[in-house]
Structure 1
Amino acid sequence: MASPSLSVPYAILPSIQQTHLIDDDDDPLTVDRSIFSLLEKKLYEWKNILKGHVGAWCVGSSHGWIILLDQNGVPLLLNSSSSTTINVPPLPLSFLHPVTYSYFAEYLRKTFIVKAIMMCSSSPSSYILAIIYGSNYKIAYCNSATWVELSDDKQSYCDIVFSNNYLYALTQDGSVEVWNICGQIPKRLILLTPTVEANYKEEKPYLGDNFSRNLYLVVSEKEILLVTRFIGNFDKKWKKMRSLHDKVLFLGANESV
């Protein structure tokens, strides 16, 4: 979860005062969490994190906001500092096709949205929420009132970020689309295709025999980075790497920074 004013994210952890494991769906009013500030190296207790949102499921975090789906699968935004909530319009039934709302809420709610991020705004009520969703990894956004689908049936996506009021979308083949979604009609402005081919013969001795790759888009100061993360059965030995100087990348299912 990234702070709106800092480039260093917060980490949400189980509460240090919580002595037993519970299912968030069973007793959400008693769920406490600790927020760890990497910059300050301090823990803050967040009591009753889901109070008033029985059964809510977290699908992402962005700029100090936690993005949830309630028990009926309707999105809502929860501010980690003020506990302010913003109701988001329900996902259109066309996004869920061919299933019904009830089937989605009961069986697909926790897996349907792959990633969810927000565009920063001086007014929380004028938010833009973007998601990657469904088994085909499509992208869509909500501009405070209406959901709009951007992708077609032929394209799948693996990551999205906002920068300078544009939406950058990373496709499964490594191409990057740049969208202007601030106007009445969304427009794809740029399509960037990969220009560097990976040398797997050089990578394999370093990575071991079994690995997979995940691709991420990361906003770093004035640049957009395309980052490859290797996941697999490594040889468990320290390897020399090039310095990131005073920068650190945080990669994952939430917004990468």
Structure 2
Amino acid sequence: MVNWVDWSHLPYDLVLFIANKLHSVEDFLAFSAVCHSWRLVYLNKSWTPSRQVPWLMLDENHTSEFIRGFFNIYKNKMHKLRLPEAHDRRCWGSSHGWLITIGHDLEIRLLNPITQASINLPPQSTFENRISVKVDWYVFIHRATVFKIQDELVTMAIYGNHSLAFCRPGDSLWTTVQISTYFLFINVVCYRNQVFALSIMGTLVLVEIDGPDPPRAIYMASPPKDEKHWQQIYLVESSRDLLMVFCYEANSAYRHKLVKFRVYKFDFDSREWTILESLGDCVLYVDDSHCTSGHAWDDFECNSIYFAQDNLDWWLTHAQKFVGYYMGVYRMKDKSTEIFCLGEDPPSHYISPIWVTPTLW
């Protein structure tokens, strides 16, 4: 006779101990589905997650329009999540688990793709100077991301003529950052509870969004003199350092672009950038608008940059066949690049692969 074990009768302290031996969000969700008593760990928010590896979100499945693919590079697994809230909407990712979405209705929301929780933000109509910029709805906001500043969610957006604005949940409108010098913003990051931004020329500025004065941008430093003609630039906090990442691309004769990176660390005392030859045991994750950092897990290649792109621009400009989404890894040690194809469905012209770090709360 088989003696079945009733797992629901385990002491709660033992269940909690087991739960906190789990590292990934998907493992913990499977754990919480075992029985009601185990799900209490989830409902009580008693699980202490380790730093999660970002998932790569792809376009909607063309055979089922509400399904989004999320590629977990740590487990080499594609998750199919039903996300009607993101249907036909442009999305940006973040390192805090939230997607920023905007659709034809011009409504802007935060969406957690794991829990499907959503937060309404002020609509596009509340941006300053929006009438002077006449573009399609999916072009008005160039980049957006979510930070946690003093444990409070702050959404930053680069919009229109590359102006910078922000809002918090509950705000009725977006607040534009005032500038005394004309900056065209291209990237923004939160570093030690302070906001820093890059201009399209690579100038670093400090963005003050709290205090007695109106939000403003203050010049900090010029870009490294040796860097020119870059394709993209990013700011990222990594191992408590502020880094600038330069991405260089060259069209190849076949399928994918050739991608190289150069990384600099900012010295706050001298206000100068220093070339960084190694990321140590860290990994960077880069998409079209965002860069995030993490420590290497198990078989992950440390001292590497994982980047996600598609050949959409090459496809539209040169009438070539769309060969799909792809992810690559750039190894800082030997400056080599390896490419992995993730799918071949033609995307919407305003959707590109993005990184989002899975979180539950």
TM-score normalized by the length of structure 2 = 0.53
In 1, Cα distance between equivalents of 2:150 and 2:116:
17
Match of residue 162, structure 2, among 109, 134, 137: 137
Partner of 1:32 in structure 2? Answer: 67
Match of residue 157, structure 1, among 156, 172, 185: 185
Partner of 2:349 in structure 1? Answer: none
Work out the percentage of aligned pairs sharing the same amino acid.
25
In 1, Cα distance between equivalents of 2:139 and 2:218:
30
Once the two structures are superposed, the pairs formed by residues 1-257 of structure 1 within 5 Å of their partners are 6=51, 8-13=53-58, 18=61, 21=62, 30-47=65-82, 49-51=83-85, 55-58=88-91, 60-62=92-94, 63-91=96-124, 92=126, 94-98=128-132, 108-120=136-148, 126-134=152-160, 136-144=161-169, 145=171, 146-152=173-179, 154-183=182-211, 185-188=213-216, 191-194=219-222, 196-198=224-226, 212-233=230-251, 242-257=277-292
Deviation digits for residues 221-252 of structure 1, max 9, x if unmatched? 2011111111124699999x955443222222
Shift of residue 128, structure 1, vs aligned partner: 1.0
Shift of residue 119, structure 1, vs aligned partner: 1.2
SS in 2 for 1:248: strand
In 1, Cα distance between equivalents of 2:197 and 2:69:
32
In 2, Cα distance between equivalents of 1:81 and 1:237:
33
TM-score normalized by the length of structure 1 = 0.72
Q: Residue 118 of structure 1 contacts residue 162 of structure 1 at CA under 8 Å; is this kept in 2?
A: no
Which letter maps to 2:153? Y
In 2, Cα distance between equivalents of 1:160 and 1:237:
25
- The one of the two structures with greater contact order (alpha-carbon pairs below 8 A, sep at least 6) is 2
Q: Which runs of 5+ in 2 are unaligned?
A: 1-24, 26-48, 263-276, 293-361
**Measured at CA, do residues 185 and 81 of structure 1 come closer, stay the same or move farther in structure 2, by a change above 3 Å?**
farther
> C-alpha root-mean-square deviation of aligned residues, in Å?
3.4
Q: Residue 208 of structure 2 contacts residue 215 of structure 2 at CA under 8 Å; is this kept in 1?
A: yes
Shift of residue 30, structure 1, vs aligned partner: 3.5
In 2, Cα distance between equivalents of 1:184 and 1:7:
36
Shift of residue 133, structure 1, vs aligned partner: 0.8
**Measured at CA, do residues 56 and 213 of structure 1 come closer, stay the same or move farther in structure 2, by a change above 3 Å?**
closer
In 2, Cα distance between equivalents of 1:122 and 1:43:
34
Q: Residue 165 of structure 1 contacts residue 180 of structure 1 at CA under 8 Å; is this kept in 2?
A: no
In 2, Cα distance between equivalents of 1:222 and 1:10:
22
In 1, Cα distance between equivalents of 2:242 and 2:153:
22
Deviation digits for residues 67-86 of structure 1, max 9, x if unmatched? 11132212111101110010
In 1, Cα distance between equivalents of 2:259 and 2:289:
27
Which letter maps to 1:12? M
Q: Which runs of 5+ in 1 are unaligned?
A: 23-28, 201-210
Shift of residue 181, structure 1, vs aligned partner: 1.8
SS in 1 for 2:232: strand
**Measured at CA, do residues 213 and 88 of structure 1 come closer, stay the same or move farther in structure 2, by a change above 3 Å?**
same
Shift of residue 167, structure 1, vs aligned partner: 1.0
